Amino acid sequence: MVAKGRAAGGLCPDCGRFSDRVHDRYQRRLKDLPLAEQGFVIRLTVRRFICGAADCQRRTFAEPFSGLAAPHARFTKRLNRALERVGLALAGRAG
């Protein structure tokens, strides 16, 4: 599945100011729960915004997808939860 954010912009994680100035875009590849017994991958286009605040140390920041996945994660949150349940149920043996 191909996806991208729909928000107009984002809040700088350091100063909290809003920015809709796009610096660049990059692709994230997130594994999700299987669909119809097939592996499911989300190819997510992430925008990197410019923080233009003069008193902010941060130059750019990536738009967050906190409901979907943690920063830098390769799995979605719900796939992580499923894998944790399998690991706990099998006491760490291969699931």
Footprint of Zn ion (CB under 5 A): 12, 14-15, 51, 53, 56, 58
Residue 1, beta-bridge partner list: none
Minimum distance, C-beta of residue 5 to Zn ion, in the bound complex (Å): 18
Structure tokens at 48: 């990197």
Minimum distance, C-beta of residue 7 to Zn ion, in the bound complex (Å): 17
CB 44 within 8 A of CB 28: yes
Nearer to Zn ion, 12 or 79 (CB): 12
Nearer to Zn ion, 43 or 58 (CB): 58
> How many CB atoms are located within 10 Å of the residue 32 CB?
18
